[in-house]
Structure formats: structure tokens, C-alpha cells
């Protein structure tokens, strides 16, 4: 069997939070293209349904939509149970849901700070541990967390201390869980995208000036594309990455290299 065949995900079951659009939609599509059955998990259920239908029609895989508030423990427990029941198991997950609140630290409200932390790190803890408990009890699995290059650097010119701190926390949580579960069959890794040109980013008028500044600073002179994150996630979800755990993969076009 060649390496391409070994990297396929035939027979595997998984879910992607924040999967209705952007990075999550791209990775969910890639998982299905590689042969997996996938649940699109999002608070925006209507868009999740449309995304699931689109991916299912394009790939022929079973793709379902589930509504979930990833900051709510009961919601996450129900979501994981629904994935297992409707797909027939759980082999991998991509904890991808996140938000970014740009506000100077001296002007940011505590409520803004808490909301950022709730979505960006608390939800990852809930997703990882609840999915992880199932995987630990059923022979193992792979967990992928979306961190950010912002966990490695301080972005400029936008002020985003809460986002930066939350994404650094995602990386440390990833490493901690990887060590705890290393001998129990569950691998945990993270990806740290740079500036990615999702549809929402490219369509936002208020980001135009920032995008110009980011591109001027970027060694490649451009934003990344969501599909440029697909292959690393397929690798991490599959069996060829069996010795890969506790790692953070920076995909930023060398932005953090200087």
C-alpha cells in the first residue's frame, strides 16, 4: 500500500466544531474527501445543514449537521453522543470553533475577556475532554485543536490580548493532554494558522486596511487560503501520524520567523 492510500480515512468517523464555514468547512470537506464520515458542528445550524449537504453531495460520504453551543457542557456531551449514535463511532475531532475580540486592554471589558476565553479555550477543554473520554474507552483516537500563530507572537497593529492569550493556552492544553494520554491511545495536536483569507475575512470592509498591512509584513506577501490547512489536518486525523502527539504545527507562510 502506498503512502497516499495509507493517508486515507476510510471507515473513520469524526466531527468539526465551527464547521459550517471558513477553516472548519475546509477541513470537514478534506476529511470527507479522504473517506471519513463527518459531523458539521456549529451554533449556526442553518448554515451547518447547508454545508453538510454540500459536502455529502460532493464526496458521497455521510455528513450530518449538529447544533451545539461549545461553551455549554451539556450541549457538548449531547453533541458527542449524537456523533457516536448517528455516525457509528468517533475516531477524530477538530476543535476549531473560535472568536477574536479586538480591543485595547485598558478598554476591554471583563465580559469581553470572559467571552473570548469561554469560546477559545474553555470550549476546547470541553470538546477535548468529552470526546477524549469516549476515545479513551474505545481504543483511542486523534484530537486536533485550532490554535493560532497569535499564540506565538503579539499581532500588530490590532490590539487582541485576550485572543493571543487564549490561543497560547490552547497550545499548552494540547501538550498537557497529549502527555496525559500518550500511553492510552489518544493523540492531541494543534495547528497554528497565520492570517487566513476566509470568506468572512475577505468580505469585511473594516479589515481591508489591516489586510494590506499584514500582507506588507508577510514574507509571502499574501494571506493563507483555508484549503492550505487541509492536508495537515487529514494527516493528523489518520494513522500515518501515529507517533505525532503534543505538537503544534505553524502554517503561516513564515510570518512568525522574524
Catalytic residues: 148, 163, 167
Burial track 167-206 (b if 16+ CB lie within 10 A, e otherwise): bbbbbebbbebbeebeeeebbbbbbbbbbbbbeeeeeeee
Q: Distance of CA 205 to CAs 159, 210, 242, Å?
A: 18, 10, 43
Backbone angles phi, psi at 180, to 5 degrees: -60, -35
Backbone angles phi, psi at 209, to 5 degrees: -65, -40
Helix 161-181 with 110-117: angle, nearest 10 deg: 30
CA-CA distance, 159 to 66, in Å (whole number)? 33
* C-alpha cell read off for 29: 470537506
> Do 171 and 192 touch, CB atoms closer than 8 A?
yes
CA-CA distance, 228 to 20, in Å (whole number)? 18
Amino acid at each position: 500500500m502506498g503512502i497516499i492510500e495509507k493517508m486515507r480515512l476510510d471507515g473513520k468517523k469524526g466531527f468539526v466544531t465551527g464547521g459550517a464555514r471558513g477553516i472548519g468547512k475546509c477541513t470537514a470537506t478534506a476529511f470527507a474527501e479522504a473517506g471519513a464520515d463527518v459531523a458539521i458542528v456549529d451554533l449556526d445550524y442553518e448554515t451547518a445543514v447547508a454545508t453538510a449537504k454540500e459536502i455529502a453531495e460532493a464526496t458521497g460520504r455521510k455528513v450530518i449537521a449538529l447544533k451545539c453551543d461549545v461553551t455549554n457542557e451539556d450541549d457538548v456531551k449531547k453533541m458527542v453522543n449524537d456523533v457516536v449514535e448517528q455516525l457509528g463511532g468517533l475516531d477524530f475531532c477538530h476543535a476549531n470553533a473560535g472568536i477574536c475580540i479586538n480591543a485595547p486592554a485598558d478598554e476591554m471589558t471583563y465580559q469581553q475577556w470572559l467571552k473570548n476565553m469561554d469560546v477559545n479555550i474553555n470550549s476546547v477543554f470541553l470538546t477535548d475532554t468529552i470526546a477524549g473520554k469516549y476515545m479513551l474507552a474505545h481504543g483511542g483516537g486523534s484530537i486536533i485543536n485550532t490554535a493560532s500563530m497569535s499564540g506565538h507572537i503579539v499581532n500588530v497593529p490590532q490590539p487582541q490580548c485576550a485572543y493571543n492569550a487564549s490561543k497560547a493556552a490552547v497550545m499548552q492544553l494540547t501538550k498537557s493532554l497529549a502527555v496525559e494520554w500518550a500511553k492510552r491511545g489518544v493523540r492531541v495536536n494543534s495547528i497554528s494558522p497565520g492570517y487566513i483569507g476566509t470568506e468572512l475575512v475577505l468580505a469585511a470592509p473594516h479589515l481591508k486596511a489591516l489586510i494590506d498591512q499584514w500582507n506588507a509584513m508577510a514574507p509571502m506577501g499574501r494571506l493563507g487560503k483555508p484549503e492550505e490547512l487541509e492536508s495537515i489536518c487529514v494527516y493528523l486525523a489518520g494513522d500515518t501520524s501515529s507517533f505525532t502527539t503534543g505538537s503544534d504545527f505553524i502554517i503561516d507562510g513564515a510570518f512568525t520567523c522574524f
